[in-house]
């Protein structure tokens, strides 16, 4: 059955036949559907299997498909944030890694970022140490501008552009009053820190849903289905209705 579902040229027709065949038991429909999702997940996203006629009569199968779509819908809701992150942080070698390594990379990046502002071991960041001072000295100016330059070098211009973070040139920055230098530094810190924390959480959530989906799909048992009962031809018009609902 695994090979039949994997190699079929008409996966939607095949699964529709299985799900509507009254001679196939609920548990067998369930296991066949698991295999279908494993090999034809894109078809499953495009065509909502929950709309198959009388599927709700098979509680185990219906519940399984409902759970899969719930997880997929959560993943899809997170995806735009991760696409935005990928566009902003365009280092190709990172996005070729497994998601666990991507998460580890951004956690490390976040730590490096905090270190730039003396925040790796606490919350007394550089700009907070200087906050409230009306005037600074040359050392303060140098420290602030150096941290901002290193921040820019760490993330690069596409990151600032994608997240619409306001950038100042060095000359614009040093012409600011000292208290406005502090405010700008705090703005940059808060903006980037929030972006990193949020995206690390999005990555963790996405990975969590990936694991949930994997556990759902690969908890298989033996299937006993008569291939002749499910491999017959059927008109596409009979299943066109399930193309009308998206996740």
Residues 52, 118: one domain?
A: no
Residues 65, 144: one domain?
A: no
Indicate whether 123 belongs to any domain: yes
Indicate whether 162 belongs to any domain: yes
> What pLDDT is recorded for position 247?
40
> Is the pLDDT assigned to residue 236 strictly greater than 60?
no
What does pTM read for this prediction?
0.81
Residues 76, 103: one domain?
A: no
Residues 37, 129: one domain?
A: no
Indicate whether 119 belongs to any domain: yes
> Is the pLDDT assigned to residue 144 strictly greater than 70?
yes
Residues 178, 112: one domain?
A: yes
Residues 117, 197: one domain?
A: yes
Domain enclosing residue 198, as ranges: 98-207
pLDDT bracket for residue 149 (50, 70, 90)? very high
Ranking 25-39, 71-85, 179-193, 211-225 by mean pLDDT, the lowest is 211-225
Residues 63, 160: one domain?
A: no
Indicate whether 116 belongs to any domain: yes
Residues 183, 108: one domain?
A: yes
pLDDT bracket for residue 140 (50, 70, 90)? confident
> What pLDDT is recorded for position 226?
54
> What pLDDT is recorded for position 126?
79
> What pLDDT is recorded for position 234?
43
> What pLDDT is recorded for position 238?
44
Residues 122, 160: one domain?
A: yes
Q: What's the mean pLDDT when you consider all of the chain?
A: 86
Indicate whether 200 belongs to any domain: yes
> What pLDDT is recorded for position 224?
52
Residues 8, 62: one domain?
A: yes
Q: What span, in angstroms and rounded, lies between the C-alpha atoms of 1 and 36?
A: 10
Indicate whether 129 belongs to any domain: yes
Report the share of the chain in percent with pLDDT over 90.
67
Averaged pLDDT, 179-191 = 93
Count of the separate structural domains present in the chain: 2
Indicate whether 216 belongs to any domain: no
Indicate whether 135 belongs to any domain: yes
Residues 67, 120: one domain?
A: no
Residues 203, 229: one domain?
A: no
């Amino acid at each position: 059955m695994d090979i039949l579902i994997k190699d079929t040229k008409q996966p939607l027709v095949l699964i529709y036949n299985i799900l509507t065949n009254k001679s196939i038991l609920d548990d067998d429909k369930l296991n066949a559907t698991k295999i279908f999702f494993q090999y034809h997940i894109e078809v499953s996203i495009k065509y909502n299997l929950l709309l198959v006629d009388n599927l709700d009569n098979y509680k185990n199968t219906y519940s399984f498909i409902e759970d899969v779509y719930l997880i997929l819908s959560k993943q899809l809701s997170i995806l735009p944030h991760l696409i935005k992150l990928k566009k902003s942080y365009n280092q190709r070698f990172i996005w070729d890694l497994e998601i666990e390594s991507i998460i580890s990379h951004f956690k490390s990046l976040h730590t490096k970022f905090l270190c730039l502002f003396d925040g790796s071991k606490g919350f007394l960041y550089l700009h907070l140490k200087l906050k409230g001072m009306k005037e600074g000295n040359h050392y303060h100016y140098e420290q602030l501008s150096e941290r901002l330059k290193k921040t820019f070098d760490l993330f690069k211009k596409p990151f600032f552009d994608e997240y619409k973070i306001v950038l100042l040139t060095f000359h614009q920055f040093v012409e600011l009053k000292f208290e406005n230098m502090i405010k700008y530094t705090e703005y940059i810190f808060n903006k980037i820190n929030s972006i990193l924390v949020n995206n690390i959480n999005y990555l963790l959530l996405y990975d969590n849903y990936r694991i949930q989906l994997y556990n759902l799909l690969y908890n298989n048992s033996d299937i006993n289905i008569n291939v002749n009962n499910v491999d017959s031809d059927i008109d596409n018009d009979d299943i066109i209705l399930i193309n009308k609902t998206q996740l």
